[in-house]
Chain A
Amino acid sequence: GAGVSQSPSNKVTEKGKDVELRCDPISGHTALYWYRQSLGQGLEFLIYFQGNSAPDKSGLPSDRFSAERTGGSVSTLTIQRTQQEDSAVYLCASSLVRGPLGEQYFGPGTRLTVT
C-alpha cells in the first residue's frame, strides 16, 4: 500500500528565502511527526500532531519554523528566512496511534540545501 510521501524530494534555496515542505501521511494515521536529520547525524524531533489536539511544538528550533496539518491529513512544514544551518533532510512520519503503541512509518525525506 501507499506509504508516507514527501515533496519535494530536494529543495535548494537561497539564504533568507522561505520554504514549504509537504508531507502526506498514510491514510487513516492520526499521528504525524516531523524530524530533522543533519548530515551524518541522528534524527531530531521537531513537531508532533495527534488528531485535533494542540500540536507538540517543543522541538522546533526557532520561531522561523512552523507547521500545519490541515484536515487531519496533509502537513506542511514552513521555514521562514532560511539560514545555512537549516540545511538538512526533513523527515515526516505517521503512526496509527500515539504513544508507545504506535509504530512510526517514515517518508523518504526532503533534502533542503540553503546556499
Chain B
Amino acid sequence: GESVGLHLPTLSVQEGDNSIINCAYSNSASDYFIWYKQESGKGPQFIIDIRSNMDKRQGQRVTVLLNKTVKHLSLQIAATQPGDSAVYFCAEQETSGSRLTFGEGTQLTVNP
C-alpha cells in the first residue's frame, strides 16, 4: 500500500552543525507534506509544511525541500541546538483526504 518512510532512524550531530533529515513517500496523489517534531511525552508539534506545487520552503532555521520526481522530502535544520533533540516525523496528506500518513520517525540527538 501507500507509505511514507524515513531513510535513517537516528541522527547524531554536534551543536551548531546543520542537520538534514530525509523522507521518502510513495503516494503520488499526495498534495501536502508536513514535518512534525515530537519531544518525549508530548504530542507532535508542527514545524513546517509544503504544498506539492512548491519545491522549497523556508522557516526560522528550518527549510523543507520537496523533490516530486523521486518522491523525496527533506528537513534541514540550521545551527542545530540541544533543544532540537527530538523525534522528527514527516507526514503526507492527499488532496482529497484529510488523514495524515506518517513516516516512522528519525531520532535527532544534538551533542553539546
Within 8 Å by CB of A42, from B96, B99, B102, lies: B102
Among A13-21, A63-71, A74-82, A101-109, the one that faces the other chain is A101-109
Say if the beta carbon of B41 comes within 8 Å of chain A: yes
Residues of chain B with a CB closer than 8 A to A31's CB: 98
Most buried by B among A4, A44, A48, A100: A100
A106–B45 CB distance below 8 A: yes
What count of chain A residues pass the 8 Å CB interface test?
27
B interface residues, Cβ below 8 angstroms from A: 31-32, 34, 36, 41-46, 49, 51, 89, 91, 93, 95-105
Contact sample, A vs B, 18 pairs, CB 8 Å cutoff: A33-B98, A35-B102, A41-B105, A42-B102, A43-B91, A45-B100, A45-B101, A48-B99, A91-B44, A93-B43, A99-B93, A99-B96, A100-B32, A103-B34, A103-B49, A104-B100, A106-B43, A108-B43
Which A-B residue pairs are the 6 nearest by beta carbons?
A106-B43, A100-B32, A42-B102, A45-B99, A43-B102, A98-B98
19 new A-B contacts, CB < 8 A, other than A91-B44, A103-B46, A109-B42, are: A4-B43, A33-B99, A35-B100, A42-B102, A42-B105, A43-B44, A43-B102, A45-B100, A56-B99, A99-B93, A99-B95, A99-B96, A100-B31, A100-B51, A105-B46, A106-B36, A106-B43, A106-B45, A108-B41
